[in-house]
Structure 1
Amino acid sequence: MIAEDFDTPVALVCTEKWHETPDTVSFVLACPENARHFHFKPGQFASLGFEIDGKVEYRAYSISSLPEQTMMKFTVKRVEGGKVSNHVIDHLSSGDRVQLLKPQGAFNNVDCTHRERVALISAGCGITPVMSMAADWLSRGGVDIVFIHIARDVLNTIYYEELLHLNTVHPSFHLKLLLKQAGDSAHMQGRLDQDYLLKLCPDILERTVYLCGPERFMQDVTAYLDQIGFQMSDCYQERFSAESIGTDSLQADGEESNTAVTVEVPGFGVSADAQAGDSLLDVLESAGVPVIAACRSGICGSCKCRVEQGQIEFSSQETLSEAEIRDGYVLACSSRIRSDLKVSL
């Protein structure tokens, strides 16, 4: 059975969990009933649901394992104040059930065309999708990989031993670690800038670049690439916000109106009172509507719903097609209510 054609959550079981760094864990999920194989494109993410205080909370995490296996591996870094990341690190145990939604995402090594030479550039937990890409390419051969990763030190480098192993056994894999504190290791020490980028990958103009990490890091790297004349159409990025960036990020400048509005969801028999300017996601969740919100930052598309009547203001239309936008679909986490609404899921 291939886990790609499903529209409702699939219940998996955590079979293993371990620390990658002091504030990062990896865990393995598998189907408890049968040896179900999981199909996805290396570099994609999946929304996972964890039961916390009697409620299933969804968040989107990149898949770090290879496709077509009977398990999926994920890596989660602790986020200060993050409800789900802290639960996963402190409380997730072998035998716990986790809900899986269909893998998705345009950042992958199938849809993003590439040359025979690539540069994977990551920082922090941004290493997870590019690690899956690298492992897939290495399993099939034919791609030369420069793997650039930025971390604080060896202790805080996710997949450190695995990276060293790949660098040893695969001639086409070239590991380039840049650490803030290299200690007695043989890795470079410093802060990434344009000169370091060229030092780490002198032929980067001849490679396809895949970039993932904190927003400011990606902005800096794209600026360096632009300054050296890189063809930016050959640079692919995974823009994924930390779970701490939730609906609070929707607050607009200035004071909101105190106008009372009503949000109706006829399919669930819900009519909820709200204020103009409220987050649509907050109102739906407070009213008990079973909307799934995984990334909560307008990226994953899991909270897609249709506004049949009324007006909203949005900050993201990521993952929505032009046809869906014309039909009134919005992302609830990135939408603010401006009038009475009628919504369907």
Structure 2
Amino acid sequence: MFFEWQGTQPVTLRCIDKYHETTDTVSVKLADLSESLLFEFKAGQFISLGIEIDGKMEFRAYSLSSLSGEDCLQLTIKRVDGGKVSNYIIDKLLIGDTVQALPPAGEFNCIDHPPKMHGGKQKALLISAGCGITPVFAMAKQWLSNEQGVDIEFLHIARSPQETIYFDLLETYHSVYPDFNLKLLLKNCGETLYPEGRLNTEWLQELVPDFHDRTVYLCGPSQFMLDVHHYLNELGFEMANFYQESFTPTDTKGANVSNESAQIFVPDFAKTIDANKGEALADALESAGLPLIVACRSGICGSCKCKVSKGSVSSTSHETLTPEEIEQGYVLACSSTIESDLEVQIG
């Protein structure tokens, strides 16, 4: 039997395992409370995870690193400077604790965007750095488990073998699966034979000479992804065959906020909020203590969907909204800024 998600409502899952991948990274496994139900998702997607911290439910988006069709979901989470939820999970979440979760989401996946054929075979290049390895490794596992015959070049950038997430597993895959070709580029290779260096156009061509023949899937820190995008453009790569993870939280606080005031009426809670034009709608609703889930903060997970029934906002993303929902006035609060007095419905 498969696990049934509850639409936009969070479900409760239990942590059934937790272990360190590196000194600053843990993997946690989440399962149904009572039954061994199977979880379905598209490899590369994420879930929005809710943890209660200091009496408040905090949601954040994390990529899934497990295989679809298993009886648990695995997340691999790295410590972040000032990261309230990530660091809490690493330091305090215990096996047996419960968490809240929203359904898998995300356009960055290998099901909707399969690798193209070249020479009679599908060929993929997975490029990652740091915790960005999580969704692309899930893609590799998906292809290998289905015996799809995808030729995989797996290029990962890390500081050292000890700081490479899934290091032992990557080496095992490289030795066991003929279609999985591991290319590690390290700052300090230690006692290994992996090359040392910083990824650039020269390294990309040397490590994956046939990258032009492959579909590229990229995930990592923001600047790293910008750099790789630049390298590929510079080398004349066909960018129609390029996909990258896009949830990088946008800091909207204080950005383009004017001194001109606006009011937001939320009839479901009989509440009127004082705000400023140019302010992110999510920030205004959160500051008022309203129960809005804001997980990815980059307009892709859909957790903060609400309906603007009066007034206007300026939106930079409609990622998870249907044309009908947009026509009805639904917006993503994290990527919408206030332009006038508003009436908003939450949920």
TM-score (normalizing by structure 2): 0.93
Which residue number in structure 2 is paired with residue 317 of structure 1?
318
Which residue number in structure 2 is paired with residue 203 of structure 1?
210
Could you tell me which amino acid in structure 2 is paired with residue 145 of structure 1?
I
Which residue number in structure 2 is paired with residue 156 of structure 1?
163
Which residue number in structure 2 is paired with residue 131 of structure 1?
137
What whole-Å deviation, never above 9, does each CA across 1:92-117 have from its counterpart, x for those lacking one?
A: 11111011111011111110021311
- Determine if contact 2:46/2:106 at 8 Å carries over to the other structure: yes
Distance 2:235 2:264 in 1: 51
What whole-Å deviation, never above 9, does each CA across 1:216-272 have from its counterpart, x for those lacking one?
A: 211221222222222111111111215xx5443x612xxx43333221111232222
Could you tell me which amino acid in structure 2 is paired with residue 75 of structure 1?
T
- Determine if contact 1:119/1:146 at 8 Å carries over to the other structure: yes
Question: Could you say what secondary structure the match of 2:317 adopts?
Answer: coil
Give how far 1:188 is off. Answer: 1.0
TM-score (normalizing by structure 1): 0.93
Q: Which moved more, 1:262-271 or 1:116-125?
A: 262-271
Distance 1:194 1:258 in 2: 46
Distance 2:235 2:258 in 1: 47
- Determine if contact 1:4/1:103 at 8 Å carries over to the other structure: no
Which residue number in structure 1 is paired with residue 234 of structure 2?
227
Report sequence identity in percent.
53
Give how far 1:56 is off. Answer: 1.0
Distance 1:189 1:200 in 2: 12
Change (3 A) 1:225 1:107: same
- Determine if contact 1:109/1:133 at 8 Å carries over to the other structure: yes
Could you tell me which amino acid in structure 2 is paired with residue 2 of structure 1?
F
CA RMSD of aligned residues (A): 1.6
Give how far 1:4 is off. Answer: 4.9
Unaligned runs of at least 5 residues, structure 1: none
- Determine if contact 2:106/2:300 at 8 Å carries over to the other structure: no
Question: Could you say what secondary structure the match of 1:189 adopts?
Answer: coil
Q: Does 1:251 align with 2:246?
A: no
- How many aligned positions are there? 339
Spell out structure 1 runs of 4+ moving beyond 6 A: none
Distance 2:243 2:283 in 1: 32
Unaligned runs of at least 5 residues, structure 2: 117-121
Which residue number in structure 1 is paired with residue 123 of structure 2?
117
Could you tell me which amino acid in structure 2 is paired with residue 251 of structure 1?
A
Distance 1:246 1:33 in 2: 39
Which residue number in structure 2 is paired with residue 183 of structure 1?
190
- Determine if contact 1:15/1:30 at 8 Å carries over to the other structure: yes
Question: Could you say what secondary structure the match of 2:133 adopts?
Answer: helix
Distance 2:66 2:35 in 1: 19
Question: Could you say what secondary structure the match of 2:114 adopts?
Answer: coil
Change (3 A) 1:299 1:169: same
Which residue number in structure 1 is paired with residue 35 of structure 2?
34
Q: Does 1:92 align with 2:93?
A: yes
Distance 1:181 1:168 in 2: 22
Give how far 1:5 is off. Answer: 4.4
Matches within 5 A, 1:1-345: 1-7=1-7, 8-115=9-116, 116-141=122-147, 142-241=149-248, 245-248=250-253, 251-252=255-256, 256-345=257-346
Distance 2:141 2:23 in 1: 24
Give how far 1:51 is off. Answer: 0.8
Distance 1:189 1:257 in 2: 48
- Determine if contact 1:247/1:296 at 8 Å carries over to the other structure: no
- Determine if contact 1:150/1:178 at 8 Å carries over to the other structure: yes
Question: Could you say what secondary structure the match of 1:70 adopts?
Answer: coil
